[in-house]
């Protein structure tokens, strides 16, 4: 199954918004952390990247709120506030195909309200397995034909249906645990989005 033009991304995000709020975040707004322990073979067996994932930007809201509250009014506080808001506006989707092909799309709304989209196509491969973590190499071609090679550390949650993608972002946000928290998109949700005209797929 291959994404065409990424038209389904926002619809899938909206469909899952309530689910992410309930399952990926706790009462305090802190992301559910995968416990540091050794997983058994059956647990590891469900931690497969193959499939379509959709998610949103995440920051440690409690820590960020306390930090902003302690800052004096001024440009520095306003800059951090806007950078955090931009990061939290991220809507992302990734398809890891079993044949090693990759498609991604990210949508970000800036402080000025302008929406930027970044679709990519390319390939992916797992470089290293660290229990519930996967170090993944991505070879991507951007919309302007530029090439990008990167390595991303992806953390699985226990259920194998949620992941946290550790990404590099603005240094001002590094102390607030910036992640893209994603959920595997079930086949029935893909079919629903496709039937409603929100997705175009090539099987």
pLDDT, tens digit, for every residue of 61-85?
999 999 999 999 999 999 999 999 9
Please give the structure tokens belonging to residue 18: 């309530």
With a CB cutoff of 8 Å and minimum separation 6, the contacts of 107 are 9, 10, 90, 91, 92, 115, 116, 117, 118
Say whether pLDDT at 190 is over 80: no
Supply the pLDDT for residue 1: 33
Query: With 70 as the cut, is the pLDDT of residue 22 above it?
Result: no
Does the pLDDT at position 101 exceed 70? Answer: yes
- pLDDT tens for 115-145 read 898 889 999 999 998 888 899 999 999 988 9
Residue for token pair 């603005």: 170
194 pLDDT band, cuts 50/70/90, is low
Q: How confident is the model at residue 147 (pLDDT cuts 50, 70, 90)?
A: very high
Q: Give, in order, the Cα–Cα distances in Å from 64 to each of 41, 52, 88, 127.
A: 37, 30, 12, 33
């Amino acid at each position: 199954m291959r994404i065409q033009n990424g038209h389904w991304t926002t619809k899938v995000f909206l469909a899952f918004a309530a689910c992410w709020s309930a399952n990926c975040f706790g009462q305090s707004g802190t992301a559910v952390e995968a416990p540091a322990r050794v997983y058994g073979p059956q647990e590891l067996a469900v931690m497969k990247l193959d499939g379509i994932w959709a998610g949103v930007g995440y920051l440690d809201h409690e820590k960020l709120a306390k930090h902003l509250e302690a800052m004096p009014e001024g440009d520095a506080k306003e800059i951090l506030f806007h950078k955090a808001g931009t990061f939290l506006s991220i809507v992302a989707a990734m398809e890891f195909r079993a044949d090693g092909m990759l498609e991604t799309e990210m949508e970000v709304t800036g402080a000025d309200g302008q929406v930027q989209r970044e679709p990519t196509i390319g390939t992916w491969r797992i470089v290293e397995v660290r229990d519930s973590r996967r170090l993944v190499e991505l070879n991507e071609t951007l919309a302007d034909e530029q090439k990008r090679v990167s390595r991303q550390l992806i953390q699985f949650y226990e259920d194998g249906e949620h992941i946290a993608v550790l990404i590099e972002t603005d240094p001002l946000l590094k102390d607030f645990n910036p992640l893209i928290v994603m959920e595997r998109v079930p086949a029935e949700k893909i079919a629903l989005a496709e039937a409603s005209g929100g997705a175009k797929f090539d099987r």
